[in-house]
Chains A and B, each alone.
Chain A
C-alpha cells in the first residue's frame, strides 16, 4: 500500500491568510488543507495522514496553543509551525516548551515559511519511519514463545548460553536452539542488532 502524500494543514481564522498560505504551499507542489477554526481541524485530524500543521497562535475559540496541547493529549506527533502577528516572547516560549517545531512571526518571507514547512515534513517522515520500525519489532517480539522471550531477555543482558541454561533449568543445547529461533524470528543479524531491538522495544513500552 502506498503511503498518502504529506499534507500541510493550515489553521488560521483569517481567510486572507489561509488563502495566501494555501496558494503558496501548493505552488511548490505540496498538498494543503485549510481550516478556520482549531476545532474544525481537530474533528477531521487523522494521525495516519503524514504532514505538518501551520497554526496561528491567536484565534477565536480554541487558541493555537490550546490546539497544540490537545494534540499532545492525543499523543499526536505531527510537527506544528506556529505563526503569530505579535512579537509575543512568552507565547513563543510556551509553544516551544510544549514541543512546537518552530515559531514564526508575521510578516515573514515566503521562503522562510516554505523552508520551515519542508523541515517539518522531513521531521514527520523520520518520526513515522522510526514508529514503523518499532511496530515491526513489536510484532516480531509478539511472535516469540514465552520461553524464547525469556531466552532473548537473558541473551540481551549479556549472559552466556551456559548461564542461561542453568537459570532456566535446561541444557545449553536447548538454549542454543531457542537462541537460533529468536535470532531468526527477530531477523537479527547479530547480537548487537538484537540488543538494539530490545532497547527500542523497551523504550516504546516505557513511552506508551
Chain B
C-alpha cells in the first residue's frame, strides 16, 4: 500500500463506502491531487503503483479504480482490458488532461466508466465516485 493511504480516514464512521477507491499513483500531480480530494471527501482509498501492483490491488474488492493518463486512449484501453479480465465490472475512471469529446468517447467505448478532466478533478470525482461508493 502507498504510504499516503495511511492518511485516508477509512475507519471513520462517516467515511463513504465499504470498499476503497484504488488510485493508480504514477507519481504525477494528478494522483496526489486525487488522493488529497478523496481524503477531503472522507472516502477510503488505496494507492497502487502502475503495473503489477495495480493488477494485484484490483483482485481485492474495490469501489472503483481511478487512473490518470497523460497521453490518451491506447494506454487506457490496455489497462481497462487487463483490469476487466481480473475484475469484470470494476468501474475504471480515467483522468485525462484536456480531453476532447472524441478522446472521451473513445475511452468510454474501451470500457471506461467515466472520463474526468484533469482540470476539473473536484467536481468530476464528486459526480462520478460518490454513486459508486454508495453502491459498494
A interface vs B, CB < 8 Å? 84, 87-90, 92-93, 96-97, 102-105
- A105/B127 in contact, CB under 8 A: no
- B124/A105 in contact, CB under 8 A: no
- B124/A92 in contact, CB under 8 A: no
Majority DSSP secondary structure for residues of B touching A: helix
Given contacts A90-B124, A92-B105, A102-B105, whether A97 and B100 have CB atoms under 8 Å apart is no
A170 vs B115: C-alpha distance when bound (angstroms): 60
Q: Mark B102-129, 1 if CB is under 8 A from A, else 0.
A: 1011001100011101001001100110
**Shortest beta-carbon distance, A22 to chain B, in Å?**
23
> Chain A residue with minimal CB distance to B102?
A105
- A84/B101 in contact, CB under 8 A: yes
Query: When the two chains form the complex, which single residue of B101, B120, B127 contacts A92, counting CB atoms closer than 8 Å?
Result: B101
CB-CB under 8 A from A102, the residues of chain B are 105
Query: When the two chains form the complex, which single residue of A84, A87, A93, A103 contacts B114, counting CB atoms closer than 8 Å?
Result: A93
A101 vs B113: C-alpha distance when bound (angstroms): 15
Is B72's beta carbon under 8 Å from chain A?
no
CB-CB under 8 A from A93, the residues of chain B are 104, 108, 114-115, 128
A87 vs B120: C-alpha distance when bound (angstroms): 14
